[in-house]
Amino acid sequence: MIHWGIIGCGKVTEAKSGPAFSKIKNSQLRAVMRRDAALAEDYAKRHNVPRFYSNANDLINDSDINAVYIATPPGSHAEYAIKVLKSGKPVYIEKPMAANYAECVRINKAAEKYHLPVFVAYYRRTLPGFLKIKELIENGSIGKVRFVKLEIYNFPSQDEKSGHLPWRVMPEISGGGHFFDLASHQLDYLDFLFGPIQKVKSLALNQAGLYQAEDFVSAGFVFPGNIAATGNWCFSVSPEGNRDSLEIFGDQGIISTSTFSFEPIKLINKEGQQEFINERPEHVQYYLIEQIVKALSGEGSVASTGITAARTSRVMDQVVAEYYKTKGKS
CA-based radius of gyration for the chain: 20
Instruction: Indicate where the chain has its CATH 3.40.50.720 domain(s).
Output: 2-122+285-303
- pLDDT tens figures, 157-210: 999 999 999 999 999 999 999 999 999 999 999 999 999 999 999 999 999 999
The whole-number pLDDT of residue 326 equals 73
C-alpha 256/C-alpha 265 separation (Å) is: 6
C-alpha 241/C-alpha 262 separation (Å) is: 18
- pLDDT tens figures, 281-293: 999 999 999 999 9
Question: CATH number for the 124-281+312-324 domain, one of 3.30.470.20, 3.40.50.880, 3.30.360.10, 3.40.50.970?
Answer: 3.30.360.10
Instruction: Indicate where the chain has its CATH 3.30.360.10 domain(s).
Output: 124-281+312-324
C-alpha 233/C-alpha 214 separation (Å) is: 10
What is the third-level CATH fold of 2-122+285-303? Answer: Rossmann fold (3.40.50)
Is the whole model's pTM more than 0.85, yes or no?
yes
C-alpha 212/C-alpha 103 separation (Å) is: 21
- Among 209, 243, 273, which Cα is nearest to 231's? 243
Tell me the mean pLDDT in the region 97-110. 98
